[in-house]
């Protein structure tokens, strides 16, 4: 069963991590469908019904994004607010996300040490994971890479990308 990867990155041309993650996913062929929100909707005016229909087709969905201001990019928050609507994802008749497996894949600029001993990446992502659980989803472990703003080598990102695709295949 193919898996959907919803990518939220405002400028993939200038990306290292998210671009290499997508390149690695391309090797998986039809196992994954990559859906880039900024490419499909440069103005971020989502076709909510089309997006709901797309999500409905997949049992496992990965949301891939860079951390922006200790949060998901606002485009992804907008997507969640609009697409996971009352009566569709929750509330009366809102059972369309129920039972789906959700995985987050997040990149940070801050290095690993910046996320240890204080607020962790998992802490930052809690509103997302709680929201998906609220909709009846099973939340899988987050795939991650730290340190994009700290001289992360391309080879390290490529190795991390292989771990990402292995997790998706598992």
Ligand X SMILES: Cc1cc2nc3c(=O)[nH]c(=O)nc-3n(C[C@H](O)[C@H](O)[C@H](O)COP(=O)(O)O)c2cc1C
**Rule CB under 6 A: which residues touch ligand X?**
9, 15-18, 66-70, 107-110, 148-149
Nearer to ligand X among residue 70 and residue 134 (C-beta): 70
Shortest reach from residue 160's CB to ligand X, in Å: 11
Nearest of 111, 116, 103, 102 to residue 145 by alpha carbon? 111
Nearer to ligand X among residue 66 and residue 132 (C-beta): 66
User: Two tokens at 24?
Assistant: 């690695």
Shortest reach from residue 16's CB to ligand X, in Å: 4
Nearer to ligand X among residue 2 and residue 10 (C-beta): 10
Shortest reach from residue 14's CB to ligand X, in Å: 7
Task: Give the whole-angstrom CA distance, residue 129 versus residue 89.
Answer: 14
Nearest of 149, 168, 167 to residue 17 by alpha carbon? 149
Shortest reach from residue 113's CB to ligand X, in Å: 11
H helices then E strands: how many in the chain? 7, 6
Q: Which residue is nearest to ligand X (CB)?
A: 109
CB-side exposure of 82: number of CA atoms within 13 Å?
A: 14
Nearer to ligand X among residue 55 and residue 152 (C-beta): 152
Shortest reach from residue 2's CB to ligand X, in Å: 23
* DSSP category for residue 116: S
What is the three-class DSSP state of 7? strand
Nearer to ligand X among residue 69 and residue 93 (C-beta): 69
């Amino acid at each position: 069963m193919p898996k959907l990867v919803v990518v939220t990155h405002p400028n993939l041309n200038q990306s290292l991590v998210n671009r290499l993650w997508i390149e690695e996913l391309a090797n998986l062929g039809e196992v994954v469908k990559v859906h880039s929100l900024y490419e499909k909707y440069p103005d971020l005016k989502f076709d909510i019904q089309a997006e709901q229909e797309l999500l409905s087709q997949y049992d496992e969905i990965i949301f891939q994004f860079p951390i922006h201001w200790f949060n998901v990019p606002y485009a992804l928050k907008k997507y969640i607010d609009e697409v996971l609507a009352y009566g569709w994802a929750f509330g009366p008749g809102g059972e369309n996300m129920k039972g789906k497996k959700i995985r987050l894949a997040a990149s940070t600029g801050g290095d690993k040490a910046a996320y240890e001993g204080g607020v962790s990446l998992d802490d930052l992502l809690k509103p997302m994971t709680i929201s998906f659980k609220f909709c009846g989803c099973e939340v899988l472990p987050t795939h991650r890479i730290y340190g994009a703003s700290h001289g992360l080598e391309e080879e390290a990102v490529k190795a991390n990308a292989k771990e990402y695709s292995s997790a998706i295949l598992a």
